[in-house]
A = this chain, B = another copy of it.
Protein backbone atom coordinates (compact mmCIF):
# COMPACT_ATOMS: atom_id res chain seq x y z
CA UNK A 1 0.00 0.00 0.00
CA UNK A 2 1.14 3.52 -0.79
CA UNK A 3 0.49 6.71 1.06
CA UNK A 4 -2.45 8.82 -0.07
CA UNK A 5 -1.35 11.79 -2.09
CA UNK A 6 -3.28 15.02 -2.50
CA UNK A 7 -2.77 15.07 -6.22
CA UNK A 8 -2.86 12.37 -8.86
CA UNK A 9 -0.80 12.72 -11.97
CA UNK A 10 -2.34 10.14 -14.27
CA UNK A 11 -1.17 8.84 -17.63
CA UNK A 12 -3.99 7.67 -19.88
CA UNK A 13 -3.47 5.29 -22.79
CA UNK A 14 -6.89 4.84 -24.39
CA UNK A 15 -5.46 2.57 -27.11
CA UNK A 16 -7.59 0.88 -29.73
CA UNK A 17 -11.19 -0.07 -30.48
CA UNK A 18 -13.43 0.34 -27.48
CA UNK A 19 -10.42 1.48 -25.43
CA UNK A 20 -11.24 5.15 -26.01
CA UNK A 21 -14.86 4.75 -24.96
CA UNK A 22 -14.33 2.76 -21.81
CA UNK A 23 -11.47 4.93 -20.61
CA UNK A 24 -13.67 8.02 -20.95
CA UNK A 25 -16.14 6.44 -18.52
CA UNK A 26 -13.34 5.41 -16.18
CA UNK A 27 -12.15 9.00 -16.01
CA UNK A 28 -15.70 10.22 -15.49
CA UNK A 29 -16.13 7.99 -12.45
CA UNK A 30 -12.64 8.78 -11.17
CA UNK A 31 -13.40 12.51 -11.28
CA UNK A 32 -16.72 11.98 -9.56
CA UNK A 33 -15.34 9.88 -6.72
CA UNK A 34 -12.28 11.93 -5.81
CA UNK A 35 -12.49 14.31 -2.86
CA UNK A 36 -12.58 17.98 -3.89
CA UNK A 37 -9.15 18.68 -2.50
CA UNK A 38 -7.40 16.07 -4.59
CA UNK A 39 -6.00 17.56 -7.73
CA UNK A 40 -6.34 15.23 -10.73
CA UNK A 41 -4.06 15.87 -13.66
CA UNK A 42 -4.10 13.56 -16.61
CA UNK A 43 -2.18 13.33 -19.84
CA UNK A 44 -3.26 11.21 -22.79
CA UNK A 45 -0.72 9.18 -24.73
CA UNK A 46 -1.44 8.37 -28.34
CA UNK A 47 -0.24 4.78 -28.53
CA UNK A 48 -1.71 1.79 -30.29
CA UNK A 49 -2.70 0.67 -33.76
CA UNK A 50 -3.27 4.10 -35.33
CA UNK A 51 0.03 5.43 -34.11
CA UNK A 52 1.79 2.34 -35.44
CA UNK A 53 0.15 2.68 -38.86
CA UNK A 54 1.09 6.36 -38.98
CA UNK A 55 4.66 6.21 -37.71
CA UNK A 56 5.67 2.57 -37.31
CA UNK A 57 6.27 3.22 -33.62
CA UNK A 58 4.87 1.17 -30.76
CA UNK A 59 6.45 2.75 -27.68
CA UNK A 60 9.30 5.17 -28.35
CA UNK A 61 11.89 5.72 -25.61
CA UNK A 62 10.82 9.32 -25.04
CA UNK A 63 7.29 8.25 -24.21
CA UNK A 64 8.43 5.37 -22.06
CA UNK A 65 10.53 7.89 -20.16
CA UNK A 66 7.65 10.37 -19.86
CA UNK A 67 5.31 7.66 -18.58
CA UNK A 68 7.69 6.99 -15.70
CA UNK A 69 6.86 10.33 -14.15
CA UNK A 70 3.18 9.63 -13.60
CA UNK A 71 1.68 8.25 -10.43
CA UNK A 72 -0.24 5.59 -12.34
CA UNK A 73 -1.38 4.61 -15.81
CA UNK A 74 -4.92 3.88 -16.96
CA UNK A 75 -5.02 1.79 -20.13
CA UNK A 76 -8.05 0.98 -22.27
CA UNK A 77 -7.21 -1.78 -24.73
CA UNK A 78 -4.49 -2.51 -27.23
CA UNK A 79 -4.78 -4.40 -30.50
CA UNK A 80 -6.34 -4.31 -33.92
CA UNK A 81 -6.69 -6.95 -36.65
CA UNK A 82 -4.93 -4.59 -39.09
CA UNK A 83 -1.70 -4.96 -37.11
CA UNK A 84 0.20 -8.25 -37.25
CA UNK A 85 -0.41 -10.32 -34.12
CA UNK A 86 2.26 -9.65 -31.51
CA UNK A 87 3.49 -6.27 -32.72
CA UNK A 88 1.48 -4.16 -30.29
CA UNK A 89 1.27 -6.83 -27.61
CA UNK A 90 5.02 -7.30 -27.41
CA UNK A 91 6.00 -3.79 -28.50
CA UNK A 92 3.65 -1.83 -26.28
CA UNK A 93 1.57 -3.68 -23.69
CA UNK A 94 4.15 -6.24 -22.58
CA UNK A 95 6.93 -3.70 -23.02
CA UNK A 96 5.23 -1.52 -20.41
CA UNK A 97 4.67 -4.43 -18.02
CA UNK A 98 8.32 -5.43 -18.31
CA UNK A 99 9.88 -1.96 -18.33
CA UNK A 100 7.95 -0.95 -15.22
CA UNK A 101 8.54 -4.31 -13.58
CA UNK A 102 4.85 -4.99 -13.00
CA UNK A 103 5.45 -8.26 -11.25
CA UNK A 104 2.00 -8.41 -9.67
CA UNK A 105 -0.75 -8.83 -12.22
CA UNK A 106 -3.77 -8.61 -9.93
CA UNK A 107 -7.08 -9.95 -11.19
CA UNK A 108 -10.01 -10.17 -8.80
CA UNK A 109 -13.02 -12.30 -9.74
CA UNK A 110 -16.33 -11.79 -8.09
CA UNK A 111 -19.79 -12.87 -9.08
CA UNK A 112 -21.82 -9.67 -8.79
CA UNK A 113 -25.61 -9.73 -8.33
CA UNK A 114 -27.69 -10.21 -11.47
CA UNK A 115 -24.79 -11.04 -13.73
CA UNK A 116 -25.18 -13.63 -16.43
CA UNK A 117 -22.84 -16.37 -15.30
CA UNK A 118 -23.02 -19.39 -17.60
CA UNK A 119 -22.80 -21.61 -14.52
CA UNK A 120 -25.93 -23.32 -13.33
CA UNK A 121 -26.73 -22.81 -9.66
CA UNK A 122 -24.82 -19.49 -9.37
CA UNK A 123 -22.07 -20.50 -6.96
CA UNK A 124 -20.54 -17.82 -4.72
CA UNK A 125 -17.40 -16.61 -6.44
CA UNK A 126 -14.98 -14.22 -4.81
CA UNK A 127 -11.33 -14.89 -5.44
CA UNK A 128 -8.32 -13.04 -6.69
CA UNK A 129 -5.64 -14.29 -9.04
CA UNK A 130 -2.14 -13.00 -8.39
CA UNK A 131 -0.52 -13.58 -11.76
CA UNK A 132 3.22 -13.19 -12.12
CA UNK A 133 3.80 -10.44 -14.67
CA UNK A 134 7.46 -10.31 -15.67
CA UNK A 135 8.68 -13.86 -16.27
CA UNK A 136 7.60 -17.27 -17.52
CA UNK A 137 6.87 -17.79 -21.21
CA UNK A 138 6.23 -14.03 -21.60
CA UNK A 139 9.88 -12.96 -21.65
CA UNK A 140 10.13 -13.03 -25.44
CA UNK A 141 13.01 -15.43 -25.16
CA UNK A 142 13.10 -17.98 -27.95
CA UNK A 143 13.49 -17.90 -31.68
CA UNK A 144 12.93 -19.46 -35.01
CA UNK A 145 15.44 -21.24 -37.22
CA UNK A 146 14.94 -21.83 -40.97
CA UNK A 147 11.78 -19.76 -40.66
CA UNK A 148 9.09 -20.59 -43.17
CA UNK A 149 10.75 -23.76 -44.43
CA UNK A 150 9.68 -27.36 -43.80
CA UNK A 151 12.74 -27.64 -41.54
CA UNK A 152 11.73 -24.77 -39.26
CA UNK A 153 12.30 -25.06 -35.52
CA UNK A 154 10.66 -22.50 -33.24
CA UNK A 155 11.28 -22.26 -29.52
CA UNK A 156 9.75 -20.35 -26.64
CA UNK A 157 11.69 -20.23 -23.41
CA UNK A 158 9.95 -19.85 -20.10
CA UNK A 159 12.37 -18.13 -17.73
CA UNK A 160 11.71 -18.31 -14.01
CA UNK A 161 13.89 -16.97 -11.23
CA UNK A 162 13.77 -17.53 -7.50
CA UNK A 163 13.92 -13.73 -7.21
CA UNK A 164 10.86 -13.30 -9.41
CA UNK A 165 8.87 -16.19 -7.97
CA UNK A 166 9.54 -15.39 -4.35
CA UNK A 167 8.34 -11.79 -4.61
CA UNK A 168 5.04 -12.69 -6.24
CA UNK A 169 4.48 -15.64 -3.92
CA UNK A 170 5.14 -13.43 -0.89
CA UNK A 171 2.73 -10.81 -2.16
CA UNK A 172 0.07 -13.51 -2.60
CA UNK A 173 0.58 -14.77 0.97
CA UNK A 174 0.19 -11.21 2.24
CA UNK A 175 -3.06 -10.84 0.35
CA UNK A 176 -4.36 -14.22 1.51
CA UNK A 177 -3.41 -13.43 5.10
CA UNK A 178 -5.42 -10.20 4.94
CA UNK A 179 -8.60 -11.92 3.73
CA UNK A 180 -11.12 -13.64 6.01
CA UNK A 181 -10.69 -17.13 4.53
CA UNK A 182 -6.86 -16.96 4.41
CA UNK A 183 -6.50 -19.56 1.70
CA UNK A 184 -3.84 -19.62 -0.99
CA UNK A 185 -3.70 -21.98 -3.97
CA UNK A 186 -0.64 -22.38 -6.13
CA UNK A 187 -1.43 -23.33 -9.72
CA UNK A 188 1.31 -24.73 -11.94
CA UNK A 189 2.05 -27.89 -13.88
CA UNK A 190 4.92 -29.33 -11.89
CA UNK A 191 4.35 -32.90 -13.04
CA UNK A 192 5.42 -31.90 -16.56
CA UNK A 193 7.25 -28.58 -16.27
CA UNK A 194 9.44 -30.05 -13.59
CA UNK A 195 12.20 -27.44 -13.50
CA UNK A 196 10.02 -24.33 -13.20
CA UNK A 197 7.26 -26.19 -11.43
CA UNK A 198 9.41 -27.59 -8.66
CA UNK A 199 11.05 -24.23 -8.10
CA UNK A 200 7.63 -22.59 -7.76
CA UNK A 201 6.43 -25.30 -5.38
CA UNK A 202 9.57 -25.20 -3.22
CA UNK A 203 9.43 -21.43 -2.87
CA UNK A 204 5.69 -21.59 -2.21
CA UNK A 205 6.29 -24.07 0.62
CA UNK A 206 9.24 -22.17 2.03
CA UNK A 207 7.54 -18.76 2.14
CA UNK A 208 4.45 -20.45 3.53
CA UNK A 209 6.32 -21.18 6.76
CA UNK A 210 6.16 -17.47 7.50
CA UNK A 211 2.36 -17.49 7.18
CA UNK A 212 1.17 -20.24 9.50
CA UNK A 213 -2.42 -18.97 9.39
CA UNK A 214 -2.73 -19.31 5.64
CA UNK A 215 -4.13 -22.63 4.41
CA UNK A 216 -2.38 -23.74 1.24
CA UNK A 217 -3.24 -25.93 -1.68
CA UNK A 218 -1.60 -26.92 -4.98
CA UNK A 219 -3.38 -27.66 -8.26
CA UNK A 220 -2.12 -28.51 -11.71
CA UNK A 221 -3.39 -25.93 -14.19
CA UNK A 222 -5.52 -28.46 -16.06
CA UNK A 223 -7.27 -29.55 -12.86
CA UNK A 224 -7.70 -25.91 -11.84
CA UNK A 225 -9.81 -25.22 -14.95
CA UNK A 226 -12.17 -27.98 -13.85
CA UNK A 227 -12.65 -26.41 -10.42
CA UNK A 228 -13.16 -22.98 -11.98
CA UNK A 229 -16.40 -24.26 -13.49
CA UNK A 230 -17.49 -26.94 -11.05
CA UNK A 231 -16.45 -25.44 -7.71
CA UNK A 232 -15.19 -21.85 -8.06
CA UNK A 233 -16.19 -21.10 -4.48
CA UNK A 234 -13.23 -23.18 -3.31
CA UNK A 235 -10.79 -20.44 -4.31
CA UNK A 236 -9.73 -17.44 -2.25
CA UNK A 237 -6.31 -16.28 -3.49
CA UNK A 238 -4.54 -18.01 -6.37
CA UNK A 239 -0.91 -17.44 -7.28
CA UNK A 240 0.37 -18.62 -10.62
CA UNK A 241 2.75 -17.98 -13.47
CA UNK A 242 2.30 -15.45 -16.26
CA UNK A 243 0.80 -17.76 -18.90
CA UNK A 244 -1.35 -19.87 -16.59
CA UNK A 245 -2.60 -16.63 -15.06
CA UNK A 246 -3.50 -15.28 -18.48
CA UNK A 247 -5.55 -18.36 -19.28
CA UNK A 248 -7.18 -18.74 -15.87
CA UNK A 249 -8.26 -15.12 -15.58
CA UNK A 250 -10.12 -15.16 -18.89
CA UNK A 251 -11.84 -18.32 -17.70
CA UNK A 252 -12.56 -16.64 -14.37
CA UNK A 253 -14.10 -13.70 -16.20
CA UNK A 254 -16.27 -16.07 -18.22
CA UNK A 255 -17.65 -17.88 -15.19
CA UNK A 256 -18.29 -14.67 -13.26
CA UNK A 257 -20.54 -13.10 -15.83
CA UNK A 258 -18.31 -11.94 -18.54
CA UNK A 259 -15.21 -10.18 -19.59
CA UNK A 260 -17.16 -6.90 -19.33
CA UNK A 261 -16.60 -6.95 -15.58
CA UNK A 262 -13.02 -8.18 -15.23
CA UNK A 263 -10.58 -5.60 -13.89
CA UNK A 264 -6.84 -5.84 -13.54
CA UNK A 265 -3.84 -4.07 -12.13
CA UNK A 266 -0.27 -4.43 -13.34
CA UNK A 267 1.37 -3.50 -10.10
CA UNK A 268 4.87 -2.70 -9.02
CA UNK A 269 4.42 -2.68 -5.24
CA UNK A 270 7.84 -1.08 -4.67
CA UNK A 271 6.65 2.14 -6.24
CA UNK A 272 9.82 2.36 -8.34
CA UNK A 273 7.67 2.71 -11.44
CA UNK A 274 4.04 3.62 -12.01
CA UNK A 275 1.56 0.78 -11.90
CA UNK A 276 -0.88 0.30 -14.75
CA UNK A 277 -4.59 -0.53 -14.58
CA UNK A 278 -6.62 -1.97 -17.42
CA UNK A 279 -9.69 -4.07 -18.11
CA UNK A 280 -8.88 -7.72 -18.92
CA UNK A 281 -10.90 -7.51 -22.15
CA UNK A 282 -9.43 -6.58 -25.51
CA UNK A 283 -10.17 -3.80 -27.96
CA UNK A 284 -13.27 -5.49 -29.45
CA UNK A 285 -13.08 -3.65 -32.78
CA UNK A 286 -16.36 -5.26 -33.87
CA UNK A 287 -18.34 -3.15 -31.39
CA UNK A 288 -16.12 -0.05 -31.29
CA UNK A 289 -18.14 3.13 -31.74
CA UNK A 290 -21.50 1.41 -31.25
CA UNK A 291 -21.95 2.36 -27.60
CA UNK A 292 -22.28 -1.32 -26.72
CA UNK A 293 -19.03 -1.64 -24.78
CA UNK A 294 -19.46 -2.20 -21.08
CA UNK A 295 -17.13 0.22 -19.25
CA UNK A 296 -17.57 -1.54 -15.91
CA UNK A 297 -14.29 -3.47 -16.13
CA UNK A 298 -12.44 -0.21 -16.69
CA UNK A 299 -14.30 1.47 -13.86
CA UNK A 300 -13.43 -1.43 -11.55
CA UNK A 301 -9.83 -1.07 -12.73
CA UNK A 302 -10.02 2.57 -11.61
CA UNK A 303 -11.01 1.23 -8.18
CA UNK A 304 -7.85 -0.92 -8.14
CA UNK A 305 -5.86 2.15 -9.17
CA UNK A 306 -7.30 4.19 -6.33
CA UNK A 307 -6.60 1.40 -3.83
CA UNK A 308 -3.02 1.24 -5.04
CA UNK A 309 -2.60 4.99 -4.56
CA UNK A 310 -4.01 4.79 -1.04
CA UNK A 311 -7.60 5.89 -1.70
CA UNK A 312 -9.17 2.82 -0.13
CA UNK A 313 -12.48 4.49 0.75
CA UNK A 314 -12.93 5.72 -2.82
CA UNK A 315 -12.06 2.28 -4.22
CA UNK A 316 -14.70 0.67 -2.04
CA UNK A 317 -17.18 3.35 -3.07
CA UNK A 318 -16.75 2.40 -6.72
CA UNK A 319 -16.99 -1.33 -6.03
CA UNK A 320 -20.14 -0.84 -3.98
CA UNK A 321 -21.61 1.34 -6.71
CA UNK A 322 -21.00 -1.37 -9.30
CA UNK A 323 -22.59 -3.95 -7.02
CA UNK A 324 -25.65 -1.79 -6.36
CA UNK A 325 -25.94 -0.83 -10.01
CA UNK A 326 -25.91 -4.45 -11.14
CA UNK A 327 -28.37 -5.47 -8.43
CA UNK A 328 -30.88 -2.96 -9.80
CA UNK A 329 -30.29 -3.70 -13.45
CA UNK A 330 -33.44 -4.78 -15.24
CA UNK A 331 -31.95 -6.24 -18.39
CA UNK A 332 -32.71 -3.33 -20.72
CA UNK A 333 -29.85 -2.11 -22.87
CA UNK A 334 -27.69 0.69 -21.52
CA UNK A 335 -25.01 2.41 -23.57
CA UNK A 336 -21.38 2.75 -22.54
CA UNK A 337 -22.08 6.34 -21.65
CA UNK A 338 -25.24 5.57 -19.69
CA UNK A 339 -23.42 3.01 -17.53
CA UNK A 340 -20.64 5.51 -16.89
CA UNK A 341 -23.18 8.20 -15.97
CA UNK A 342 -25.04 5.88 -13.63
CA UNK A 343 -21.88 4.86 -11.80
CA UNK A 344 -20.55 8.41 -11.65
CA UNK A 345 -23.84 9.53 -10.09
CA UNK A 346 -23.69 6.76 -7.51
CA UNK A 347 -20.13 7.39 -6.38
CA UNK A 348 -20.61 11.16 -6.23
CA UNK A 349 -23.53 10.70 -3.81
Contact = CB atoms under 8 A, between A and B. Distances in A.
Interface of A: 79, 85-86, 89-90, 94, 117-121, 137-138, 140, 142-144, 146-163, 166, 189-199, 201-202, 221-223, 225-226, 228-230, 243, 246-251, 253-255, 258-259
Contacts of A199: 144, 147, 152, 154
B154 A160 contact: yes
Nearest to A249: B222
Given A86-B194, A144-B198, 16 more contacts: A79-B191, A86-B191, A90-B194, A118-B120, A119-B229, A120-B120, A150-B162, A155-B160, A156-B193, A157-B157, A158-B158, A222-B251, A225-B254, A226-B251, A226-B254, A229-B255
A225 B197 contact: no
A230 B256 CA distance: 11
5 contacts: A85-B191, A142-B195, A149-B162, A156-B157, A251-B251
Contacts of A120: 117-120
A150 B166 contact: yes
Nearest to A153: B161
Contacts of A119: 118-120, 229
Contacts of A259: 226
B243 A189 contact: yes
Contacts of A229: 118-119, 229, 251, 254-255
Nearest to A190: B85
Nearest to A282: B223
Nearest to A122: B120
Contacts of A166: 150
A199 B154 CA distance: 7
B195 A137 contact: no
Contacts of A140: 194
Contact of A190 (B86, B118, B146, B230): B86
B230 A246 contact: no
A192 B89 contact: yes
Closest 5 CB pairs of A and B: A222-B250, A152-B162, A225-B251, A86-B194, A89-B191
B148 A159 contact: no
Contacts of A202: 148
A271 B116 CA distance: 48
Contact of A137 (B118, B192, B247): B192
Given A120-B119, A222-B247, A254-B230, A192 B90 contact: yes
Nearest to A280: B222
A86 B197 contact: yes
Contact of A222 (B162, B222, B246, B258): B246
A116 to B, nearest CB: 9
B160 A153 contact: yes
A142 B154 contact: no
Contacts of A198: 85-86, 144, 154
B192 A94 contact: yes
A27 B186 CA distance: 38
Contacts of A201: 85
Contacts of A152: 161-162, 199
B158 A196 contact: no
